[in-house]
Chain A
């Protein structure tokens, strides 16, 4: 079997989430509270990704809701994949 990278759609569902209420690193002191989530990519059952949720309030989150990828800067050098409600739905 040959292993290789494969592009995915960026669509996922929300498996679980937690609110980071405490900053364990100086970079996050002015960013708490923020949302950390485990999402399941639609391409394959059990294909999980750890990420952040953006453009959504905790109270509007529902388990298994549909999400789509977005990209946000981390510092000056990186873009990281984050997720938001699919289609901009609230």
Chain B
């Protein structure tokens, strides 16, 4: 079978916000229509769908896409990279010509709901959850606190380093109208915010919201006739190393991003030193640091120093999370990193990296992860 070169032709968001009152279907429809308008593709030309959040078949019917050649509703996965990889491969293998990939993420239950004993916070795919609850672990912020603390121990990172990271990301967000948090932030303000699971503070966590994100994958050939500058998928990778119990990872500093990055670079002649901008998952801030190291964009255990020295700023070696990251744009569960990469390679970012030609975006940490490498067409 001959593999086809795949392009990303359209990107779009729904009306993202806190407790929007809209359904998953609303967010799916709004984001898909935005991505179709962005690309110039008409609904009848979509012949494949992949989503995490809602149901792919339902969304295709709702949007009048017509008969679909490829459809997938993703289960628990490393965020948006899963529907994105399936969409890419469906087009590359010729199963479909134009595939919409979604991540629809509704705001998690409020802390008030959880404190009243709501079980709505339990993840359906979580295994052995009784081993968490018996020890007072009801939130992903616990594994984040454990992983962050071990990371600080091994790297020597300080709370001030995490404050600096938050300040740099907020600076990017201040220029991005899509960001939900845009007010300038200082190191002192970060340090004055409460711990959730020490050393993890509230500004180390992505910002819960209702979001719909849609990305359209099609052939390079077709993309050349569409509205936007062409952005090509060079390659992508997945990795899983453990079951979903983050708390029992035997090495919390080197997790699945290491294997996903090795897989990624093994598929391409592009090298880490060729990367012009990186958009790296920040569900919790230390995850971006894990990815900088795993991808070889800085030295192993060197991310805190890299960030301290301005490596992730617009004038730095690898401008990173240039939309402000999910800590500021809101939890779009990985999709914002894909969309911001596309905008950078089109020259449309609100914090544009000059002459950006290679972008890497990456999702998740711990048990599973994935990454995708994009180039300017």
Asked if A20 is at the interface (CB within 8 A of a chain B CB), the reply is: yes
Beta-carbon contact of B115 and A63 below 8 Å: no
Chain B interface size, as a band, is 35 or more
Q: Which residues of B contact A20 (CB under 8 A)?
A: 136-137, 142, 197
Q: Mark B137-180, 1 if CB is under 8 A from A, else 0.
A: 11101100111111001000000000000000000000000000
Complex formed: what's the CA distance from A17 to B198 in Å? 9
Beta-carbon contact of A45 and B115 below 8 Å: no
Q: Which residues of A contact B198 (CB under 8 A)?
A: 18-19, 21, 33, 58
Q: Which residues of B contact A15 (CB under 8 A)?
A: 150, 252
Known: A24-B139, A50-B248. A18 touches B145 (CB 8 A): yes
Complex formed: what's the CA distance from A43 to B300 in Å? 30
Q: Mark B179-223, 1 if CB is under 8 A from A, else 0.
A: 000000000000000111111100000000000000000000000
Interface of chain A, helix or strand or loop or mixed?
strand
Q: Which residues of A contact B64 (CB under 8 A)?
A: none
Q: Which residues of A contact B248 (CB under 8 A)?
A: 38, 48-50
Q: Which residues of A contact B149 (CB under 8 A)?
A: 16-18
Stretch at the interface among B127-135, B275-283, B319-327: B127-135
Beta-carbon contact of B136 and A34 below 8 Å: yes
Q: Which residues of A contact B247 (CB under 8 A)?
A: 38, 48, 50
Q: Distance in Å from the Cβ of A81 to the closest Cβ of chain B?
A: 9
Q: Which residues of B contact A16 (CB under 8 A)?
A: 146-147, 149-150, 153, 252
A-B interface contact total, Cβ < 8 Å = 99
Q: Which residues of A contact B21 (CB under 8 A)?
A: none
A48 touches which of B117, B121, B250 (Cβ 8 Å):
B250
Which residue of B is nearest A37, CB measured? Answer: B146
Complex formed: what's the CA distance from A12 to B132 in Å? 19
Asked if A46 is at the interface (CB within 8 A of a chain B CB), the reply is: yes
Which residue of B is nearest A40, CB measured? Answer: B250
Q: What residues of chain A have their CB less than 8 Å away from a CB belonging to chain B?
A: 15-29, 31, 33-34, 36-38, 40, 45-46, 48-52, 58, 63, 74, 78, 80
Q: What residues of chain B have their CB less than 8 Å away from a CB belonging to chain A?
A: 111, 114-117, 121, 131-139, 141-142, 145-150, 153, 194-200, 245, 247-250, 252
The 9 lowest CB-CB distance pairs between A and B, nearest first, are A18-B145, A46-B250, A24-B138, A19-B198, A16-B150, A48-B248, A50-B247, A21-B195, A18-B197
